[in-house]
Structure 1
Amino acid sequence: MAYTIEPIVQDNNKCGEAPTWDVANRRVLWTDNETDKTYEYAVDSGERRILTEGVAVGGIALNRSGGLVLGGPTGLHLWRDGHWHSIVASYKGEELKINDMIADPQGRIYAGTMYWGANGMEKPGRLYLISPDGSVRAIDEGIELANGLGFSPDNKVLYFTDSTARKIYAYDVEPVSGELSGRRVIVQVPTDEGIPDGLTVDAEGFIWSAQWYGSQIVRYDPQGKVERRIAMPVKQVSSVIFGGDSLTDLYVTTAGQSWAGPYAPPGYDFNAPNIGGSLYRIPIDIQGRPEHLADFA
């Protein structure tokens, strides 16, 4: 199947991430977490503008009462009317260095942390559940590089990516408490492909996983079987979300700063001219779902 892959914003983001579709305002939000900027692209006007500056952001959730809930290496924040408000920065003395996150149906935030330095992983991260009152619970641990999250259409399953472990996990969700159980690996990406990064889940319950180093987006069924692949013109494909009036456009972030880690497939060229950096749009024959809203005052 042939796809139309359109670069709609050619900014050369160093590390474009966290695409988020704003249904009410017909815009896509995303972050370049290497330059501490969050952007918006208005579909109607085609205008791209900087939304936030000065704070690194790894995850974005629209907030029910206005503004955005943003997660990054300094914790979880509420950004509203141009002002930053810290929600929580640490848990039991440990900094919450959030790399990706998602709101659940109750308006809480599941957030994955990572602790990496110039020489790689400094210590394992965790998966946390953060409630609107600022309380934090550790849900899972031993995570290498926390990344994309998504819910099944019935919200009974949460998918969570550990990039350098090359795994996508599935958990059963207890909806009231938010507790997770029954962790299992549904995708183990082979070493001759890229590593899984951001993900989203469509209306049919299939998982779309962006593949860093892999020059592709992979669609998996709920059991983890590959259903299709979309070849991308760049190598570092970082995340994906459904948008547009019918939620039948894929918005795809990519990263232009080459990460020379030991996780690339054999023969990978870290100096290739097509590393990435643009925001892409791909019309698709499958419908997505709107993301849940955070509910922080």
Structure 2
Amino acid sequence: MEEVPTAVLGDERCHLGEGPTYDAATDTAWWFDIVERRLFEAHLGGGRTTIHSLGVMGSALGRIDAHRQLVVADDGLYVRALADGRMELFRPLEADNPATRSNDARVHPSGTFWIGTMGRRAEPGAGAIYALHRGELSLLYGEITIPNAICFSPDGAVGYFADTGKNVLFRVDLDAATGLPRGAPVPLVRRRGGGGIDGAVVDADGLIWNARWGGGCVDVYSPQGRHLRSLRVPARQSSCPAFVGRDLSRLLVTSAWQDMGDDARRADPDHGRTFVLDVAARGRPEPEVKLAAA
């Protein structure tokens, strides 16, 4: 396990930290505490973090423009105004199924948004992955237990996603212009023991940076699925990474204390905290989500 310089971003702990992203234009990191219905906003240069209460279980977001975000939540996709936090429903998301909620999501370079859902108790096969393309949602993959690791190659021609329930990371060829699949997914990484494949992000060189739930680390894989590095995270249940900083060289990693008893939390003193790792990466800025055809 590789040790890199690591800082804690604020004192707040997340019950289920997820969905980090970074707005390079404002040097601001965003992430969610899904269970507690909170959205975190951290201005990295100034060191100030604001916590926004949400009326929904948000899990991820995409930047629409300088004034708006698209928040992925348990019952739908919401346009959120940055000025006052007001949220307006854009599209329902499995709103007729109270047994599910949103989970991992990421924007493709084309502006198409891939969005995962799962059972609230991680019921086997209860989840799915959708694409929001030109303002409309379509089902990509069903019968997924815990969708995670949604991310894309720099040129948009390859997509990745995982079912943490199976502990398999899949690769799929995409139409780079639309972000939609051109073939069937194939297994790229099969993990056995030592934690589960959770959230992931791809850097400018095409390397996949994957948080390992229960493993307290971020694993780095080549596009061919070869394991290259494991970087220690000071919380056992590391959940999702995002590149941050003006040069996108650092890695923000969320974590969680969900399903941990008192003894487990005492043994994991930084449980639920959010970290910034100095990894000297060549990160990529997140693309903006497109709500309609250009």
Does TM-score exceed 0.5, indicating one fold? yes
Whether contact under 8 Å (2:30, 2:39) holds in the other structure is yes
Whether contact under 8 Å (1:148, 1:160) holds in the other structure is yes
Partner letter of residue 85 of structure 1?
A: E
Matched, 1:184 2:179: no
Relative to the length of structure 1, the TM-score reads 0.89
Q: Secondary structure at the match of 2:8?
A: strand
Taking a change above 3 Å as real, the CA distance of residues 59 and 220 of structure 1, as seen in their structure-2 partners, is same
- Over residues 224-269 of structure 1, what are the superposed CA-to-partner deviations in whole Å (9 max), with x where a residue is unaligned? 1110001122100011011101110111111123358xxxxxxx95
Whether contact under 8 Å (1:258, 1:270) holds in the other structure is no
Q: Distance in 1 between matches of 2:213 and 2:231?
A: 13
Q: Distance in 1 between matches of 2:125 and 2:144?
A: 9
Matched, 1:279 2:280: no
Partner letter of residue 273 of structure 2?
A: S
- Over residues 22-68 of structure 1, what are the superposed CA-to-partner deviations in whole Å (9 max), with x where a residue is unaligned? 10000110000111010111112101102342221111111136311
In the other structure, the counterpart of 2:287 is 292
Task: Decide which of 85, 89, 102 is 1:98's aligned counterpart.
Answer: 102
Q: CA deviation at 1:219?
A: 0.3
Which sits farther off after the overlay, 251-260 or 238-247?
251-260
In the other structure, the counterpart of 2:163 is 162
Q: CA deviation at 1:178?
A: 3.7
User: What is the Cα-based RMSD across aligned positions, in Å?
Assistant: 2.2
Which sits farther off after the overlay, 67-76 or 215-224?
67-76
In the other structure, the counterpart of 1:131 is 133
Q: Distance in 2 between matches of 1:199 and 1:138?
A: 21
Equivalent pairs, count: 286
Which sits farther off after the overlay, 51-60 or 83-92?
83-92
In the other structure, the counterpart of 2:255 is 254
Q: CA deviation at 1:9?
A: 1.6
Q: Secondary structure at the match of 2:47?
A: coil
The aligned runs of 1:209-248 (5 Å cut-off) are 209-248=210-249
Taking a change above 3 Å as real, the CA distance of residues 248 and 112 of structure 1, as seen in their structure-2 partners, is same
Whether contact under 8 Å (1:124, 1:142) holds in the other structure is yes
Whether contact under 8 Å (1:257, 1:275) holds in the other structure is no
- Over residues 63-101 of structure 1, what are the superposed CA-to-partner deviations in whole Å (9 max), with x where a residue is unaligned? 136311111211211111421111221469657732111
Partner letter of residue 16 of structure 2?
A: C
User: Could you list the runs of 5+ residues in structure 1 that have no partner in the other structure?
Assistant: 261-267
Q: Distance in 1 between matches of 2:53 and 2:177?
A: 33
Q: CA deviation at 1:149?
A: 1.0
User: Could you list the runs of 5+ residues in structure 2 that have no partner in the other structure?
Assistant: none
In the other structure, the counterpart of 1:148 is 149
Partner letter of residue 197 of structure 1?
A: D
The aligned runs of 1:199-218 (5 Å cut-off) are 199-218=200-219
Q: Distance in 2 between matches of 1:153 and 1:10?
A: 34
Partner letter of residue 289 of structure 1?
A: R
Whether contact under 8 Å (1:256, 1:275) holds in the other structure is no
- Over residues 90-132 of structure 1, what are the superposed CA-to-partner deviations in whole Å (9 max), with x where a residue is unaligned? 4696577321111223322111111233xx4064321111134
Whether contact under 8 Å (2:154, 2:204) holds in the other structure is yes
Aligned identity (percent) is 26
Partner letter of residue 141 of structure 2?
A: D
Matched, 1:113 2:108: no
Q: Distance in 1 between matches of 2:4 and 2:124?
A: 40
Whether contact under 8 Å (2:78, 2:91) holds in the other structure is yes
Q: Distance in 2 between matches of 1:229 and 1:207?
A: 12
Q: CA deviation at 1:144?
A: 1.1
Q: Distance in 2 between matches of 1:277 and 1:63?
A: 28
Relative to the length of structure 2, the TM-score reads 0.90
Taking a change above 3 Å as real, the CA distance of residues 213 and 2 of structure 1, as seen in their structure-2 partners, is closer
Whether contact under 8 Å (1:166, 1:196) holds in the other structure is yes
Q: CA deviation at 1:189?
A: 1.0
Whether contact under 8 Å (2:109, 2:155) holds in the other structure is no
Whether contact under 8 Å (1:116, 1:122) holds in the other structure is no
